[in-house]
Structure 1
């Protein structure tokens, strides 16, 4: 690709998200900060993978920053992914979804407008960004109620 510097102009933004289970068929959803893109919508908690950071390291960091919980990166399992291609000058997004069955601490909304525990059917009724709609559908097929 002549003239393309992928290091400084990535074609996709890599994002990680946690499908956090309470062990009783409910999943934790996080409500996005109102001032951010998709503000007020419900999503799987997580965030951007920083340069030189492994996705599982980013997941550990993001869940601590957003929810004040600690997870063991060795205890998470990849579940699915979703992607959105680049539009205009914005890079595309790839979200890697990991299942988190165990964590330390009590989740709370450090960032954002709140959290809640929902069944897959209840998640379907929440307003969500498009990629989280896709991820929830995949989660429901993999872990039916």
Structure 2
């Protein structure tokens, strides 16, 4: 299921064609919505040196040439968090286009209920197992739709 374009900044950006610019290349990103047995979900902070450093997001990263969403997510979760994911257990969930000032991004959100290993902050990031309403901030604009979707699906943590 695809959602409409989400504009990541407060000012609506003019269409590339209206400006006479060449269309921007879409960057595909695999994003993991890791959901624990208690219903809480994993959020990670963006490390120093990256765009939006300190913002909270769902973990993941860019697809490499010829890489599937599932393989990219497994690779990124291993690189960033030291956990192993079987690409066969990756459940594609939704897609969202986000127009950030620095990039036009197609986010491929995948739900994960199974992984192996202990979380490690391999990029110096922080993480939190969260429930709705989320108490960490700021939250990356591309993560906001996921929080809404989780709320619509009524995924509260178990007591």
Are 1:99 and 2:128 matched, yes or no?
no
Structure 1 unmatched ranges of 5 or more: 1-8
Deviating 4+ runs (over 6 angstroms): none
Residues 1:127 and 1:54: Cα distance change in structure 2 (over 3 Å): same
- SS of residue in 1 equivalent to 2:133: helix
Structure 2 unmatched ranges of 5 or more: 1-22
Q: Which residue of 1 aligns with 2:12?
A: none
Q: Which residue of 1 aligns with 2:153?
A: 142
Mapped partners of 2:124, 2:94: distance in 1? 24
Mapped partners of 1:96, 1:142: distance in 2? 18
**Alpha-carbon distance, 1:86 to partner:** 7.0
**Alpha-carbon distance, 1:11 to partner:** 2.1
**Alpha-carbon distance, 1:82 to partner:** 1.7
Q: Which residue of 1 aligns with 2:144?
A: 133
| Aligned partner of 2:51 among 37, 40, 49 | 37
Q: How many residues align?
A: 135
- Cα RMSD of the aligned pairs, angstroms, is 2.0
